[in-house]
Structure formats: structure tokens, C-alpha cells
Amino acid sequence: MSALERYPEVLTAPEVAELCRVETRVVRNLAATGELPGFKIGKAWRFHRADVAAFIEPKGKPRT
């Protein structure tokens, strides 16, 4: 089981920040610019786990 699978299907900005090891404001900024797919419920950002997984997957060159 990966670390991401331990989280619910819909994550909060602080949960995504914890996974990515960044500040919560970075996650909110990425969502606001559309770089990280998310949606708002009131003023709070929410993120589908599959979208977060796709966002953190390495793009292009595989890791060595």
C-alpha cells in the first residue's frame, strides 16, 4: 500500500501539502492557477486522490 492509498478519496489542502512536503499555501496556489486539479467547497480546496497521484508522478524521465 502506497502512502497515498492511506488517505481518503478526497483530500484537503493540508493533506496534499503533507504528502508533497510543501506549505499549504503552495498547494492552494497550485490549485488556483490550475496546475493541480481541485475544487472548492465554500472557501476550502479539495482534491481527488487520483489527481494528486497524477500530479506527483514523475513526468518524462524515470527516476534512477
Residue with cell 480546496: 45
- Please check whether residue 62 lies inside any domain of the structure: no
Q: What pLDDT does 2 receive?
A: 72
How much is the pTM? 0.84
- Please check whether residue 41 lies inside any domain of the structure: yes
- Domain count along the chain: 1
Residue in 35, 1, 33, 36 with CA at minimum distance from that of residue 12: 36
Q: Do 50 and 5 meet the contact criterion of CB atoms below 8 Å apart?
A: no
- Please check whether residue 46 lies inside any domain of the structure: yes
Kindly report, residue by residue over 3-50, the tens digit of the pLDDT.
Answer: 788 889 999 999 999 999 999 999 999 999 999 999 999 999 999 999
For residue 18, give the CATH number of its domain. Answer: 1.10.1660
Domain that holds residue 10: 4-56
- Please check whether residue 24 lies inside any domain of the structure: yes
- Please check whether residue 11 lies inside any domain of the structure: yes
